[in-house]
Amino acid sequence: MIIVMRAHAPEEQIQNVIKHVEDAGFEVHLSRGVERTIIGVKGVSHDALTQPFESLKGVDEVIRVLKPYKLASREFHPDNTQVKVKDVIFGGNTLVIGAGPCSIEGEDMYRDISQAVKASGATLLRGGAFKPRSSPYSFQGMGEEGLKIMRAVGNETGLPIQTEATNPRSLQLVAKYADIIQIGARNMQNYDLLKEAGQTGMPILLKRGMAASTKDLLLSAEYIMSEGNDQVILCERGIRTFETATRNTLDISAIPVLKENTHLPVMVDPSHASGHMQYIQALSLAAIAGGCDGLLIEVHNNPEIAKSDGEQSLLPEQFADLMEQAKKVAAAIGRDI
């Protein structure tokens, strides 16, 4: 349930409503908009609707939120949430472009790629230190050594770094070094991990599962937010369908669907969606036109010898070309890169 306060309701009226809600045994989540304040009421039963909240001074209306995700819903938070990481803002008018290799393979390699993508306009560095792979015999990442490399290069470039935590143990290490914790597609419904990620209070980039609906994704975001962490960034990265020409099928329609139903920023990863470098630019431009808040692109300076996902990694010069095309599409819909 949400309690919508009247426009420009004074603070004493807001605090009075909060007191009544808490006295009734419910938890409060406060959302302050430009004109209106919304009080989210968590733990609501059908009996709560009989509480006389509508009669309190300053209350405009009381609305029961029917969606199973409350905190992530746009009903609870009508204005777009912006997640700020250093000088980078997710969910603003300027698109965030994250780039880097699938996995960290060495310091010199990561530094060269990071400097190249920054020169082309990337504002976020991606890379994997812990890699959940389909085969147990595939490269699993450099672990903490990879995190140290990312942190050092991130400090040198001044760009925030994003990397994946695969379990509660790696979560603590990632939180120590990274600016953004990524929860990958395979862990989207690892609820214990989601709750612990929420408890860090750090920005969390949550990828959509390979067979998950947009509702499933938002319910997973709710797990993070229910721990008091509203710094959540969603990421569409393709879902499994019967199509075999691409690694996954990029669900462009998920962008406007999510934008309608949630206030959280929405990123798109066309690299994991396509699985082939020749499709990445087209999918990137389509995602921008579809209204996403940014892209995550895999870039490698020698994809042929990459230890993971070389076939879906752009060369630095290909990334530079993509950025030039992306600026044109962004400008056409009134956004910046």
pLDDT in tens, 26-36: 888 888 877 78
Q: Where do the DSSP E strands lie in the chain?
A: 2-5, 27-32, 37-42, 59-63, 83-85, 88-90, 96-100, 124-126, 161-164, 180-183, 204-207, 232-236, 266-268, 294-298
Report residue 180: phi and psi, to 5°: -135, 130
Q: How confident is the model at residue 255 (pLDDT cuts 50, 70, 90)?
A: very high
Q: Looking at 72-76, 259-263, 265-269, which range is the least confident one?
A: 72-76
- In which band, very low, low, confident or very high, does the pLDDT at 78 lie, cut at 50, 70 and 90? confident
Q: Where exactly does CATH 3.20.20.70 map onto the chain?
A: 83-332
CA dist 260 and 262 (Å) reads: 6
CATH topology of domain 83-332: TIM Barrel (3.20.20)
Helix (H) or strand (E) holding 157: helix 144-157
Identify the CATH assignment for 2-63 out of 2.170.190.11, 3.30.70.1140, 1.10.3720.10, 3.30.530.20: 3.30.70.1140
Residue 47 pLDDT level (bands cut at 50, 70, 90): low
Please enumerate in sequence order all residues whose Cβ is within 8 A of that of 280, keeping only pairs 6 or more positions apart, or say none.
Answer: 270, 271, 274, 297, 312, 314, 322
Over 60: is that where the pLDDT of 84 sits?
Answer: yes
Task: Tell me whether strands 27-32 and 37-42 are parallel, antiparallel or unpaired.
Answer: antiparallel
The average pLDDT across 71-77 equals 89
Question: Which range is least confidently modeled, 14-18, 60-64, 218-222, 226-230?
Answer: 60-64
pLDDT cut 90: percent of the chain above it: 76
Strands 59-63 and 37-42, bridge-based pairing: unpaired
Residue with tokens 């760009």: 159
How high is the pLDDT of residue 225?
A: 95
Average pLDDT in the 167-194 region? 96
pLDDT digits (tens, 9 = 90+) for 310-320: 899 999 999 99
Q: With CA atoms as reference, report the closest residue to 131 among 150, 118, 121, 146.
A: 146
Global pTM? 0.89
Q: How far apart are CA 59 and CA 66, in angstroms?
A: 20
Tell me the two tokens of residue 296: 């995550």
Which residues of the chain form CATH 3.30.70.1140? 2-63
- pLDDT score, position 39: 87
pLDDT at 46 over 60: no
Given this model, what pLDDT does residue 44 score? 60
Q: Which 3 state secondary structure label does DSSP give 296?
A: strand
Choice between 139 and 56, residue whose per-residue pLDDT is larger: 56
Q: What is the pLDDT of residues 127-167, one digit of tens each?
A: 999 877 667 756 667 899 999 999 999 999 999 999 999 99
